[in-house]
Structure formats: C-alpha cells, structure tokens
Amino acid sequence: MDANIQFSRIFSDRDMVLATDLDGTFLGGSTQAREALYSWVEGNRDRIALVFVTGRDPGFIAELCADNAVPAPDFVIGDVGTTIARFEQGRLDPIAVLEAPIVRRWHGKPELVRTRLAGIRGLWLQPTSFRHRLSYQYDDRFDPASLHVLEGVDVDILISHGCFVDILPQGISKGPSLQSLIAYLKLPATRVLVAGDTMNDFSMFQTGLRGAVVGGAEPELLEATQHLPHAYRCRAAGAGGILEAIRAHALFPSIPEVHE
C-alpha cells in the first residue's frame, strides 16, 4: 500500500493534531504542567496526532525520546522546517516526496553562504551538522546589517532567540512544511493546534491554523501575532499554555486542569 494512503488512513480521523515547538513550548512550563500534558497525550494516543515542529536536529529528537520521559511524536518537522519525517521506532524516516523541493532549493547554497558569512564579526557557525540549512550563533558584536552580503542568494534569513541566525532554503520554514505534511496526510486542518514561543515559530501562526502563543513568548512574536485571529495568547508558559489553548479553542472534550 502507498505510504501516503496508509498514513492518511491512520491519522485523518484523529480528534486533533498537536503541532508543537519543543524548547520553551512542549518542553517548557512547570513540572506539573508538563506531566499533565504528557500524560494526557499518552492517554489519548488513538485520538491525538503529535507533531514536533522544531529547530532541533534529528539526533536531538531521537535522544530526547529515548527514555520515554517525553511522548514520542508521530511526525517531526525539524531543522526549522527543512526536515520532514515520520518518527518510528526511535528514529526519523524522512519523507522524500515532501523533502524533494527543499533539497532542490538548497542545492549549491551551503558553500556560497559559508563563504559570504565568513569573517563577520560576532557570528559563528554552529557545530551541529544540519541537513538542509546552516545555523549560526551571534553575540553583541554582531550587526544584523552585515547580512546584506547574502543579497542575491536565494535563501531566507531567520533571526531568533536573541542569539541565532538560521539560513534556510527560500520559502522553507516551519509553517509551509507543516502545511505540506497536513496535505500529504489529509489531516483535518480545523483540528490542528500549532504552539510556539519564538519568531522561528511565526510562520506556523501565519498558516491561519489555530494557535497557542505560550506564556513567556518572545516580545517580537507577541507583536507579530497580535492581529492574527486564531493565535491565542496563553497566560501559562510552555506545556501549561498548550493545555490552556486546547481548552480555549475547544479542540478536545476533556483537558486536565493544572493549578500552579
């Protein structure tokens, strides 16, 4: 059976899909809130599809889920949207048909980007080996205006967390990759909740899907999402914010209460 059809049959009838960032979101909040969210997910695995939408790389995600302390996702959109994969038996299995446009747009870009950004003050390449992106860190010596050297190169630049610069294939980010996965699996968009806390999550909220801007989010994300009607601003941080938003959007009939 075609994998697309097989996955669609498995997931298209789920009551909801939680598509969540990790750091500061699914992994954030109080211990009580995380325990409540994770238990709720595990107790409803036949009714909920879980998608990690993160800047983290495949190795980190496999290690995160290895001891079962965190619910394993059904799918992963990693590397800020440049990896799209099924998560199965502790490893990521990239979905080639969805990654093909990403691979094409990234072809020939890494060496050109590395060359042009070499020597920029206060900016250095992260040591992790990413698949279809380049990620840098910066300190207070860095001037964002120096990134003008990438003008004419067909890439997108994403600055987030006050210390990271991601160079991505043009038009590729968390939101578009999530939409591709939703369409591929024939998931019901009206039952999807996206959750995040920084500007590298902004493209998820731009999709128009129901959203959870969790408590403690970056001011830049709060400002960017303030006029988006489905981007619910949570009072609670991290996992607690996700539970709060599920309730606010009425996406699931029974949500655990967390009193902090």
pTM of the model: 0.91
SS3 213: strand
**Considering the domain boundaries, does residue 138 fall inside one?**
yes
Is residue 165 one of the residues assigned to a domain? yes
Residue 73: count of CB within 10 angstroms of its CB: 27
d(CA 35, CA 33): 5
For residues 177 and 203, membership in a common domain is answered with yes
- Domain extent at residue 240: 3-98+172-248
For residue 206, give the CATH number of its domain: 3.40.50.1000
Please give the tally of structural domains in the chain. Answer: 2
Please indicate, yes or no, whether residues 145 and 218 belong to a single structural domain of this protein.
Answer: no
In sequence order, the β-bridge partners of residue 213 are 196, 233
Q: Assess if residue 260 is contained within a domain.
A: no
**In this structure, are residues 243 and 37 in contact, taking their beta carbons and an 8 Å threshold?**
yes
| CA distance linking residue 52 with residue 161, whole number of Å | 18
Give the CATH number of the domain where residue 123 resides.
3.90.1070.10
Q: What is the pLDDT along the chain (260 residues), one digit of tens a residue?
A: 455 556 656 677 889 999 999 999 999 999 999 999 999 999 999 999 999 999 998 899 999 999 989 999 999 999 999 999 999 989 999 999 999 999 999 999 999 999 999 999 999 999 887 889 999 999 999 999 999 999 999 999 999 888 999 999 999 999 999 999 999 999 889 999 999 999 999 999 999 999 999 999 999 999 999 999 999 999 999 999 999 999 999 999 989 888 76
